[in-house]
Structure 1
Amino acid sequence: MTPADLSRTVLHAVRRAVDEDALRVPVPARVRVERTRPGGSGDYACAVALQLAGPAALPALEVAAILRERVAAEPGVGRVEITGPGFLSFTLDAPAAGDRAVLDAVREQGLAYGHGDALREEILQFHHAREVRAAVTAHAVRRLVTAQGARVRVSCEEASDPDWARLGVTVDAHGTPPVPLTGIRPVPAGVTAGELLERFGPDAARWGLLRPAGHDRAALGPELLVQGEANPLFRVRYAHARARALTRGAALLGFTAGHAAPHDGAARPLLDLIADHPGVLLAGARHRAPDRVARQLEAVAHAFFDFHDSCPPLPAGDEKPSAAHRARLALAEAAGTVLAGGLSLLGIRAPEHL
C-alpha cells in the first residue's frame, strides 16, 4: 500500500462512517497522511480525527475510534492505533508487500506514475509577465496541475517572445485576466530566451529557471553544462540513462526484472522516495512549485546511485542472475521511470544515452 493508497483508504473510511450515520460531518476532499516522525508509532500518521472532531461535535478520540474500526480491516493495513489526543497511526503489512505494490504501480502507470485527479474540479487561468522565467514557470505549472486533473488556460500580458516556443512554452491568449502567477523572480534585465537557448540549450535553460524556488535567483551559470556530479541536472539524467542501460544489460544476460521488491537495506531510501513521488507531484501542483519536483528528482538520483553501488542489479563476472538481481533491476527500472516522468513534467528530455 502506497501513501496515496492509504490516504484514499482513510477517506473511504470517513465516507463509510458518514453513510452509516456514525459521523455527521462534511466529507473532506482529501485526507493527508504523513510518515511517522522519529520516536512515533507505526509507519504513517493522520490527524483527520482532530480535524473532524469540531464539525462532528464529538471528542477527537471518539472520532478516531470510529475511523479506526473502518480502516483496520482494509487490505494492506496491519495495525491502526490511536495516539495522543486523537491521531491515527498506521502500521502497514509486511514492507515487502507494500514495496511490491509501489513497484507494480510504477510498472503499470509508466511515466504517468504519480498523476491523479485530485484537482479535477479546478478550472484555472494563469497570467504572467512577458519575461522568460515567468513564461517557463507558467508552462511547467500548467503541466503539473493538468497531470492532477485540472483544466488550465495560460495568458501573457503582451505578445509572446517567438523564442519561447523553442523552450517548449505555449501561451493561449494575451491580455490581463484577474489571476496573475506571482512570486517569480525575473532573470536579470536583458537576458532573453534566445540568449539562454544559445548558451545552454532548452533542457539546461529550463532546469536553471525552474530548479530554484520562484522567489530565488535563477541558476544560470556555466555549471549547468558541467558533465559531472557537481551538476544536479546531469546527475538526474545520468541516473535515468544508467537505469535504462541496466535493462539493456540484463537483456543481454538473458533476464528481466522480477516482481518482488529487493530486501537489501540500501534499497529502503530509494523505495521510500518512489513511494512518496505521487505526493510530491501533487504538492508541486497545489503550491505552483516545480522546484519541488526538481528537488525530488535530485533525491531519487542520489538514492539510486547509492543503491546501485551497494547492490548491483547486474551480476558480476561468472555470477549467474539470481532472484536478488531481478528484484534489484525492478527497483532500478522504477527509479528510471520516475526520473523520466518527473523530467517530462518539467519539460526536460530524459535521454537514454549520455
Structure 2
Amino acid sequence: MTPVELSRTVLRAVRCAVDDGELSVAVPEHAVVTVPGPGGRGDYATNIALQLARPAGCPPLQVAEILCPRLRDAAGVADVEITGPGFLNIHLEPATATAALVGEILDRARPNGGQCPSGPIRLTGTSRPDGPTATGDSHPAVGHRTPAAGPRQTATTGHIRPAVGPTTHTPTGPRYTPPTTDHTPYGHTPTLAQTVVPLRIPYEVRAEVVADTLVRVIATQGGRAEVDHVRPGETVDLRPVPAPEDPAPLGPDAARWALLYPAGHDRPRITADHLLQRESNPLFRVRYAHARARALGRNAVRLDFTPVPGDVTDVPSAAPLVRALAEYPNALTQAAAHRAPDRLARHLVAVADALLAFQHTVLPLGDEKPSAAHRARLALAEAAGTVLAGGLSLLGISAPDYL
C-alpha cells in the first residue's frame, strides 16, 4: 500500500462514515498522508479529522474516533492510533509497510538519480573576506540559497566558487535507467514551512560549506535559509570548529565530506584517509554502496527482471536497511533543526552499511530463476541507492554510478 493508496483508503473510511450517517460532510477530493511528525507513531499519519472537524460541527477527536475503526478494517492496516488533537496514526502490516516505504521512495526519486545538476559551492583555495558574493547556485530539487540583503552580502571567493554539479557516469547496459521522476524527493517534510532561517557565519571555509549544505537541508523541510557573513566580534548563528588546514587538495567531494562528517564542535581531520577506497573510509562506503545499488539494477536488466516493491521479511538483513530508510526523513529533520549536517552524513553511512550487508541476497544464484522475492529485494536496494544519491546531493557530493 503506497501513500497514494492509503490516501484513498482514508477517503473510503470518510465516505463510509458519511453513508452510515455518523458524519455529515462533503467527502474531500484528497486526504494528506505523510510520515508521522514529532510525537506521532506508526508508519503514516493523516490530519483528515482536523480537516473535517469544522464542517462536521464536532471536535477533531470525535471525528478521529469515528474514522478509526473503519481504517482498522482496511486491508493491509494492522492498527490505528489517535494522537494529539485528532491525528490518525496508521500502522501497516510489516510486508505492506515495507512495500509502501520502498514504493514511496522510488516514486519520489529525483531527476538524475538524485544528483545535483547545478551544484554547490566548490573549494579552490584560501579565504579572503573582501571578495564578491559567492553564495552558491540554485538547487532544482530542494530549493536554492537566497543571499542575505544588506552591506554584508559579500562573501569569500578565495576558497569557494559557484561550479557545475558533480559529474556522473551513465550506465550503458541495455534498457537500464535509474529512477528519474520529478516528484517531491523522499524525506521532504514541511516542518519549517515558509520559515526563514538566518545563518550568520564567519569568514571561514568550514562555516561556509556547512551553511551551503544547510541551505539545501532546510529547504527539504519547507524552509528557506538566508546566509550572511559577519566580521570578527559580531554575533554568529553558526560557528563550527575551523579546519586546521586548507581542505582543497583533497578534491571537492572528499573536502566537503571532511568538513561535514564531524560534528560542528569537533575539529575536522584533513588527511588523505578520505581518499582511500577502503572499508575504513565512510565516504567510500557510502559512494560504493550507491554504485552497488546501480550495478544490481544493471545486472537485473540482463537477467530480464525489474524491481517491484514487496515483502522482504524472508531476508533477515533486510530489516536494518528498511529501518534506516524509514528513519531518513527524521535524519533530515534533525539535521535542519540542529543546524547539523553531520547527522545526515552519519545516517547515510548507516544506510550504506545496511545495504552492503543486504546486497548479496538481491540477485538469483546459479540456475535460480528471478522470482517475486528477487523483484522485492531489488526494489529495496534501488530505493536505498536513491536515498544515498539524494543524501549525497544534499551534502554537495557526487554519487557516481560506477566506482
TM-score by structure 2 length?
0.64
Give 1:92's aligned residue.
Answer: 91
Corresponding residue of 1:321: 370
- Other-structure match for 1:126: 199
Equivalence map 1:321-340=2 (5 Å): 321-340=370-389
> C-alpha displacement at 1:154, in angstroms?
1.4
Q: Pairwise mapping of residues 79-228 of structure 1 onto structure 2 (< 5 A)?
A: 79-80=79-80, 92-111=91-110, 112-157=185-230, 180-188=236-244, 191=245, 195-198=246-249, 200-228=250-278
2:366 corresponds to 1:293 = no
For structure 1, the 5+ residue unaligned runs are 25-62, 159-174
| Structure ranking higher in helix proportion | 1
Of 333-342 and 270-279, the range deviating more from structure 2: 270-279
* Deviations 1:83-107 (CA, angstroms, capped at 9, x unpaired): 9xx9x99672311111111111111
The 1-side partners of 2:186 and 2:311 are apart by 17
CA, structure 1 residues 11+280, in 2 after alignment: closer, same or farther (shift >3 Å)?
farther
Whether the aligned pair in 2 keeps the contact of 1:110 and 1:337 (CA below 8 Å) is yes
Q: Is the 8 A contact 1:127 1:177 kept in 2?
A: no
- What whole-Å deviation, never above 9, does each CA across 1:108-160 have from its counterpart, x for those lacking one? 110321123332221233221110110000001111011222223212236xx
| Alpha-carbon distance in structure 2 between the residues aligned to 1:260 and 1:206 | 36
> CA-to-partner distance for each residue in 1:294-318, whole Å, 9 max, x for gaps?
1110110111112123xx2111222
Q: CA RMSD in A?
A: 3.1
In 2, distance between residues paired with 1:224 and 1:4? 37
Aligned CA distance change for structure 1 residues 278 and 23 (closer, same or farther; 3 Å): same
Counterpart of 2:78 in structure 1 is: 78
Q: Residues 78 and 90 of structure 1 are in contact (CA less than 8 Å); yes or no, is this contact kept in structure 2?
A: no
Percentage of pairs with the same residue? 44
Q: Supply the distance in 2 between the matched residues of 1:149 and 1:216 (Cα, whole angstroms).
A: 28
Q: Alpha carbons of 1:258 and 1:9: their partners in 2 closer, same or farther (altered >3 Å)? A: closer
Which amino acid in 1 is paired with 2:91? L
Number of corresponding residues: 289
Q: Is the 8 A contact 1:13 1:71 kept in 2?
A: no
Q: CA deviation at 1:70?
A: 4.3
State the 1:15 CA deviation: 4.6
C-alpha distance 182-5 of structure 1, shift in aligned 2 (>3 A): closer
Q: CA deviation at 1:259?
A: 3.0
Q: Are 1:342 and 2:391 matched, yes or no?
A: yes
Counterparts of 1:215 and 1:16 in 2: how far apart (Å)? 46
Please report the TM-score for the alignment, with normalisation by the length of structure 1.
0.72
What per-residue deviation string (whole Å, max 9, x for no partner) do you get for residues 286-340 of structure 1? 221111111110110111112123xx21112222212111111100000000000
Q: What SS does the aligned partner of 2:292 have? A: helix
